Structure 1
Amino acid sequence: MATAKQNFYKWHRILGLTALIPVIMWTLSGFSHPFMSNWFRPTIAKEFYKAQPLKEKPALSIKQVLDKNEIKDFINFGSISFKGQPYYQVLGMDSTYKYYSANTGSLLNDGDRLYATFLARYFTQDSTSKVKSITLQKTFDAEYQPINRLLPVWKIAFDRPDGMDVYIETSQSRMGTFNNTTRKVMLVVFEQLHTWQFLETIGGEQFRVVVLLIIVTVMFLSLLSGLTVYGLFWKKFKTATENRRRDKRKDTRFVHRFHRQLGIAVSLVMFTFTISGAFHLYVKLVNDKHPAQQGVKQSVKTDQLLTSNLQLPVADSLVKNVALAQFNGKTYYQLNDTKKHVKYFDVATGAELVDGDVAYAQYLAIQYGATPQVKVKGRVKVEQVREFTNEYGFINKRLPVQQVSYTNGENWYFETTTSQLATKVAGIDRAEGFSFIFLHKYFGMAWAGKNVRDIVSMLAALGVLVVSVFGFAGFIRNK
């Protein structure tokens, strides 16, 4: 029995030392996260763009503009107001946007770049600072991370003391995110210390996840072995403390005692961190939640547009945008109004498709790999989601979306106005999502407010850090 106890003690030290550096990296970066995401987060004048209504109806339909510019095939189009004038954003077969006046049909040279700059100045309410650089970004990086979801975006860097960068998705006239110099530094530091992106550079994403999963497992075993050691030796520790106090001897092992006592106090915290972190990594390893396919490809012929987009039976004051959606062998005008309703009108006949957004969401689900309805027992349920929930959280960015729910427990969320899959939630995804937000990010404290929740999470991370440092200090003293 004595040998078994000593072996537990030995393995606890080995596991603790192995996990020491990762624990320090994770707890320090976790401790700093509230500063980056809440207290030191930069502010911006406007977070959402509200286009000014046009004073007059466009003179030309999209078909007239396309015919004038001899465009026979294209992917999609949108309508915007820019500098008080109506324009059509035309997504060509080369996947680039060109801008044409809806009054004259003339091409606006470098229109997408100009519109992105206009939106960036709108969001910042900065009409004077020079634009240091503007680049079209098609991939995520340390400063524009995958959590921002939207691609491609224009990165507009202003020549200002705060080093403000604004990321713009012109197709939807919205902002991806914005960073000042402080936040850019904190993002890079957090990415390296908490998510260990340097491992992806070394061996790829799967290598990074596997290494992290191994380290988290080591941390969990260190926790279990520590609790076991305390259970096996607690009588010995208690007797030693009583003898020291009786003999009034100096406490020479206070570091070890604090490590044990505080370790018991934060053991639940460390358990929630390691279990939720390991579950998160496991799901990431075995289940790709974001398929490589981005959007649904379509090709529209200009000759198909027999009905004018200017003659749709919706009041001009309610129209937010008009685009095209191709599904089930037909092409429709996709009209998004100011009340977040999306309606569909046949481009050939002008007839409205009843429950068109529901039909399109179901079509998208099949295109992205959902089980066809004929193979699913029970009814497929589709409903619009207009605000974030515990399952469809803020991390997904896109609203409103259509939630396509299957009886097998799969929920697919689609932003139909962009034909994009926002996220898919199945059984293991749902369990992982809830465990991560409640056990790792402490969303259970949301009732007390974001500041209180952040303080609690910081104290939890600090507790784990102090226990680890005291454990290392005790190991050094034993030497």
Structure 2
Amino acid sequence: MATAKQNFYKWHRILGLIALIPVMMWTLSGLSHPFMSNWFRPTIAREIYKSQPLQVKPALSLKQVLDKNKVPGFINFGTITYQEQPYYQVMGMDSTYQYYSANTGDVLANGDRLYATYLARYFTQDSTSKITSITIQKAFDAEYQPINHLLPVWKISFDRPDGMDVYIETGQSRMGTFNNNTRKAMLVVFEQLHTWQFLAAIAGEQFRVVVLLIIVGIMLLSLISGLTVYGLFWKKFKTATENRRRDKRKDTRFVHRFHRQLGLAVSLVMFTFTVSGAFHLYVKLANDRHAAKAGIRQMVKTAQLKTSNLSLPVEDSLVKNVGLVQFYGRTFYQLNGTKKQVRYFDVDNGAELENGDAMYANYLASYYGAEPEKNADGKVKTTQIREFTNEYGFINKRLPVQQISYPHGENWYVETTTSQLAAKVAGIDRAEGLSFIFLHKYFGMAWAGKNVRDIASMLAALGVLVVSVFGFIGFLKNR
């Protein structure tokens, strides 16, 4: 029995030493997260783009403009206002945007670049600062991370003391994110210390996740072995403390005692951190094995536009944007309204498709891989989501979306205005999402406010850090 106890103690020290550096990296970066996401988060004048109502109705239809420019086919189009004039924003077959005046049909040279710059100045409300660089970004990096979802985007960098960068998705006239110098530095530090992206740079994303899973597993074993040691030796620890007090000897093992006592106090916190982290990594690893299906790539022939986009029975003031979608062998104008309603009109005859957004959402879900159970007709529920929820959180970025709920428990979220899959939530995904936001990010304390929640999570991380440091000091003292 004595040998078994000593072995437990030995393995606890070995596991603790292996986990020491990762724990310090994760807790220190965890302590910095509230500063980055809340207290030191930069502000911007406007976060949502409100399109200007057209002062002049377009003189030419989309078909007339495309015929004039000899464009036989394209992927999609939108309508925008630039310099108080209406333009058609047309995505060509090379997936780049061309801008045509809706009054003259003339091409706006460098239109996408100009419109991105206009939007960046709109969001910052900065019309005077010099722009140092404008680049198209097609991949995520340390400063524009996958959490932002939107690609490709234009990165517009301002010559300002705060070093402001704004990321613009011109196709939907929206902002991906914005960073100042402080946030850029903190993002890089967080990415390396908390998510260990340097491992992905070395051997790929799957390697990174596997290594993190192993380290989290070692942390969990260190915790369990520590609790076991405390249970096996608590009588010995208690007797030693009583003898020291009786003999009035100096407490030379304060560090060890504090490590044990505080370790016991924060053991639940460390357990929730490690279990939720491991669950998160496991689900990510499982999902990454199944590559996401590429987005829908449609091809619309200009000759198909038998109904003019200017003749649709909707007031211009109620339309935020107009696009085109194809499903079930038909092509429709897709009108995105100012009140987040989406309507569909057949390009052949102008007839409105009743319940069109729900129909298109179900079509998209099937395209991306949803498989309804047999005899599920009538049991599939489609609901428009206009604000973030616990299941479909802010991390997903896209709104509004349609939620397609299947009887077997899967929820698919699609953004119909871009034909993109926003999120898929199945049984294990739902459990992982809830465990991560409540056990790892402390959303259970949201009722007390973001500041209180952040302070609580920082105290938890600090407790784990202090326990680890005192454990290491105790190890050095024993040498």
TM superposition score category, shorter chain reference: over 0.9
* 1:63-74 to 2 correspondences below 5 Å: 63-74=63-74
The one-letter code matched in structure 1 to 2:310 is: L
The letter of the residue matching 2:401 is V
Deviation at 1:67, TM superposition (A): 0.6
| Distance in 2 of aligned mates of 1:3 and 1:325 | 72
Letter in 2 for 1:205: E
How far apart, in 2, do the equivalents of 1:256 and 1:189 lie? Answer: 32
What is the aligned partner in structure 2 of residue 456 from structure 1?
A: 456
CA deviations over 1:247-301 (Å, ceiling 9, x no partner)? 1000000000000000000000000000000000000111239953342110000
The Cα shift of 1:374 comes to 4.9
The 5-angstrom pairing of residues 160-239 of structure 1 reads 160-239=160-239
> Partner of 1:125 in structure 2?
125
Aligned to 1:311: 311
- The answer to whether the 8 Å contact 2:373/2:407 transfers is no
C-alpha displacement of 1:161: 1.0
Aligned AA (2:192): Q
Q: CA RMSD in A?
A: 1.1
Taking the aligned partners of 2:53 and 2:334, their CA distance within structure 1 comes to 19
How far apart, CA to CA, are the structure 2 residues paired with 1:373 and 1:467? 51
1:96 corresponds to? 96
* TM-score, normalising length: structure 1: 0.99
| SS of corresponding position for 1:157 | strand
User: Are 1:347 and 2:347 counterparts?
Assistant: yes
What is the deviation of 1:56?
2.0
Match of 1:295 in 2: 295
Quote the residue 1:255 is aligned against: 255
Distance 2:290 2:51 in 1: 31
**Residue pair 1:335, 1:342 contacting (<8 A) in 2 also:** yes
Counterpart-to-counterpart distance in 2, 1:401 and 1:229: 51
Matches within 5 A, 1:411-422: 411-422=411-422
SS at match of 2:326: strand
CA distance in 2, matches of 1:291, 1:8: 42
- Give the SS at the match of 2:362: helix
Find the aligned partners of 1:25 and 1:154 in 2 and give their Cα distance: 32
Q: Distance in 1 between matches of 2:372 and 2:78?
A: 31
Which residue is 2:335 aligned to? 335
Task: Indicate conservation of the 8 Å contact 1:153/1:167, yes or no.
Answer: yes
Q: CA 1:289/1:55 → structure 2, altered by over 3 Å: closer, same or farther? A: farther
Alignment-mate amino acid for residue 451 of structure 2: N
TM-score w.r.t. the length of structure 2 is: 0.99
Shift of residue 13, structure 1, vs aligned partner: 0.3
> Secondary structure of the equivalent of 1:455?
helix
Alpha carbons 2:373, 2:408 under 8 Å: kept: no
User: What is the CA deviation profile of residues 25-68 of structure 1, one whole-angstrom value per residue up to 9, with x for unaligned ones?
Assistant: 00000000000001011110111110111112111111111111
Report deviation, 1:376.
Answer: 4.3
Which residue in 1 is equivalent to 2:432? 432
For 2:389, the aligned partner's letter is: T
1:246 alignment counterpart: 246
User: Which residue of structure 2 lines up, in the alignment, with residue 58 of structure 1?
Assistant: 58
- Asked if the contact 1:344–1:353 (Cα under 8 Å) also holds between the matched residues in 2, the reply is yes
User: Which residue in the other structure is 2:21 paired with?
Assistant: 21
SS in 2 for 1:287: helix
Q: Deviations over 1:65-97 (max 9, x none)?
A: 111101111000000011100000000001100
Corresponding residue for 1:467? 467
Post-superposition CA distance 1:418-450 (Å, at most 9, x none): 000001000000000000000000000100000
Can you list the C-alpha shifts for 1:228-262, whole angstroms capped at 9, x where unaligned? 00001111101110110111000000000000000
Q: Conserved in 2, the CA contact under 8 Å of 1:153 and 1:169?
A: yes
Counterparts of 1:26 and 1:337, CA distance in 2? 44
Residues 209-233 of structure 1: CA deviation (Å, up to 9, x unaligned): 0000000000000000000000011
Q: Is the 8 Å Cα contact of residues 77 and 324 (structure 2) preserved in structure 1?
A: yes
CA gap 1:148/1:348 in 2 versus in 1, 3 angstroms:
same
Match of 1:400 in 2: 400
Q: Which residue of 1 aligns with 2:286?
A: 286
Report the alpha carbon displacement of residue 317 of structure 1 after superposing the two structures with TM: 1.0
Cα distance in 1, alignment partners of residues 289 and 81 from structure 2: 36
SS for the counterpart of 1:264 is helix
Residues 372, 406 of structure 2: 8 Å contact kept: no
Conservation of the 8 A alpha-carbon contact between 1:410 and 1:426 = yes
Residue-by-residue CA offset, 1:324-363 (whole Å, 9 max, x unaligned): 0000000000001111100000000100111000010010
Q: How many residues align?
A: 479
One-letter amino acid of the counterpart of residue 422, structure 1: A
Distance, in Å, in 2 between the alignment partners of 1:417 and 1:291 is 23
Distance in 2 (CA, whole Å) between partners of 1:292 and 1:242 is 62
Q: Distance in 1 between matches of 2:289 and 2:9?
A: 41
What amino acid is the match of 2:355?
D
Query: What is the CA–CA distance in structure 2 between the aligned matches of 1:375 and 1:78, rounded to whole Å?
Result: 38
Report what 2:324 is aligned to: 324
Aligned to 1:389: 389
Q: Does 1:3 align with 2:3?
A: yes
Write the distance in 2 (CA, Å) between the matches of 1:163 and 1:316. Answer: 38
**Structure 2 CA distance for aligned equivalents of residues 372 and 37 of structure 1:** 39
Q: Please list the CA deviations of residues 178-234 of structure 1 after superposition, one character each: whole Å capped at 9, or x if unmatched.
A: 001111110001000000000001111111000000000000000000000000111
Residues in 2 aligned to 1:268 and 1:244: alpha-carbon distance in whole angstroms: 30
Q: Shift of the alpha carbon at 1:458?
A: 0.4
